Amino acid sequence: MPSRPQSPKGSERRGAASGLPSAESFLEMMAVERGASAHTLDAYRRDLADYQAFLQRRGLDEAAADPEAVHAYLAGLSEAGLAASTTARRLSAIRQFHRFVYLEGGRTDDPTQSVDSPRVPRPLPKLLDQADIVALIEAARARGGAQGLRLVACLELLYATGLRVSELLALPLSALAHDRRFLVVLGKGGKERMVPIGRAARAALEEYMPFRESFLARRTRGRAHLFPSRSGRGHLTRQRLAQLLKELAPDAGIEPARISPHVLRHAFASHLLEGGADLRAVQMLLGHADIATTQIYTHVQGDRLAAVVGAHHPLARAGRQPRSATAGTRRQRRRVAADTEGESP
């Protein structure tokens, strides 16, 4: 059975002593070469610590792990009742670590190469309609004061830009263009993109900015985050923003379970597609590396897609019926007969 995450330090010491690349070396590579976020690195560190503890109980380490041990670890996760998505995530961390060890020359094989990932059903995004979004913003505005204005600005920006919540909350003041019509966003993998800001979001920012410094601790006054706070990170955290949205939901007549910062990103993408936006443009705005990730939003646009087919497909237009091949052939024969009538052989 898998253990609760433990510190991998003992395994790291053995790895250093044997010449095997350590988990921390792997995490350093992920940060430097792949631009992994602190959140991703923390998740990988926990997953690898759990895997290493499992190996230790079997008298193994990463150098001696074989496919049977990896299969046994994954089976233990399933028996413990962990979701397939969690198991898949842990396997991804283990697979990348063993690949790193192999490429660095720590092993001559990769024990995860023959291990299949569990099938994870891809859930459709939770959706809010446009009336829900308006109700949320109005409920936040009704709270008034600095807290209410900050929440309105967060809601307007999330819905106007489709930013990931981590991208929004890490925004520095310098991300705002001079005329505030665009944001310069640092996304996954350290990739920058420019995202336009609509009028409503710009107006919400204008209202919020005079109150921004009230959220700064004295020692951080004047520092750069767009949404600062007195937390240890120096900016509003995603956990706190999620909590604020859950508290706001009943005031907007929405079930708290339906709302999260990420749901606003889903609403941004879905409502753009409803309005006829190009899928490639939505992909660029969301910062998706692969358009297949963006395409999930097309699965929640059933009514719109049915209307498009009904309006534009030749066999679906009102009053048009498909012609049979036999009927078409008969008409063609009659036309030929009429054209040749009276001609001599």
Q: Is 90 exceeded by the pLDDT of residue 50?
A: yes
How does pLDDT run across 276-286, given as a tens digit for each residue? 888 888 888 88
Give the pairing type, strands 192-196 and 182-186.
antiparallel
Among 188, 193, 246, 304, the active-site one is: 188
Residue with tokens 């995530």, as numbered in its chain: 89
In the residue annotation, 265 being an active-site residue is answered as yes
Residues of the chain with CATH 1.10.150.130: 9-103
* CATH ID of 9-103, from 1.10.150.130, 1.10.287.110, 1.10.150.20, 1.20.1530.20: 1.10.150.130
Residue 193 carries which DSSP code? E
Instruction: Please report the pLDDT score of residue 10 as a whole number.
Output: 43
Minimal CA–CA distance to 49: which of 16, 93, 96, 103? 93
Q: How confident is the model at residue 304 (pLDDT cuts 50, 70, 90)?
A: low
- Lowest-confidence segment of 11-20, 176-185, 262-271 by average pLDDT: 11-20
Stretch 116-144: mean pLDDT, rounded?
83
- Measured CA to CA, the distance from residue 238 to residue 188 in angstroms comes to 16
How does the average pLDDT of the chain come out, rounded?
A: 79
**Which of 128-132, 279-283, 325-329 is the least confident region?**
325-329
Q: CA 320, CA 304: separation in Å to the nearest integer? A: 21
Q: Six-digit token pair at 248?
A: 């706001």
The pLDDT, as a whole number, for residue 345 is 33
| CATH homologous superfamily of 130-303 | Intergrase catalytic core (1.10.443.10)
Would residue 323 show up in a list of annotated catalytic residues for this protein?
no
The answer to whether residue 68 scores a pLDDT higher than 70 is yes
Q: Pick 211 or 274 by higher pLDDT.
A: 211
Site of tokens 């193994």: 60
Question: Nearest-CA neighbor of 117 among 97, 136, 92, 134?
Answer: 92
How high is the pLDDT of residue 303? 56
Q: Which of 93-102, 116-125, 235-244, 285-294 has the lowest average pLDDT? A: 116-125
Instruction: Give the model's pLDDT for residue 3.
Output: 45
Closest alpha carbon to 252 in 162, 126, 130: 130
Looking at 212, 265, 266, 271, which residue is catalytic?
265
Binned at pLDDT 50, 70 and 90, residue 338 comes out as: very low
Q: Annotated catalytic, 188? A: yes
The answer to whether residue 244 scores a pLDDT higher than 90 is yes
Q: Is 272 within 8 Å of 130 (Cβ atoms)?
A: no
Which of 150, 164, 238, 266 is flagged as catalytic? 164
- For 47, counting Cβ atoms within 10 Å of its Cβ (0-12 exposed, 13-18 middle, 19+ buried), the class is buried
Asked about 164 being catalytic, the answer comes back as: yes
Q: Per the residue annotation, which of 180, 193, 262, 304 is the catalytic one?
A: 262
Token pair of 154 as six digits: 């967060």
Range from 88-102, 181-195, 248-262, 317-331 carrying the lowest mean pLDDT: 317-331
The pLDDT of residue 9 is 43
For residues 157 and 163, is the Cβ–Cβ distance under 8 A? yes
Read off the pLDDT band of 190 (50, 70, 90).
confident
In the residue annotation, 312 being an active-site residue is answered as no
Residue type, 193: R
- The question of whether 288 is a catalytic residue gets the answer yes
How long, in residues, is the chain? 345
CA distances from 136 to 8, 15, 241, 284 (A): 44, 52, 14, 26
CB-CB contact of 249 with 126 (8 Å):
no
Which part of the chain is CATH 1.10.443.10?
130-303
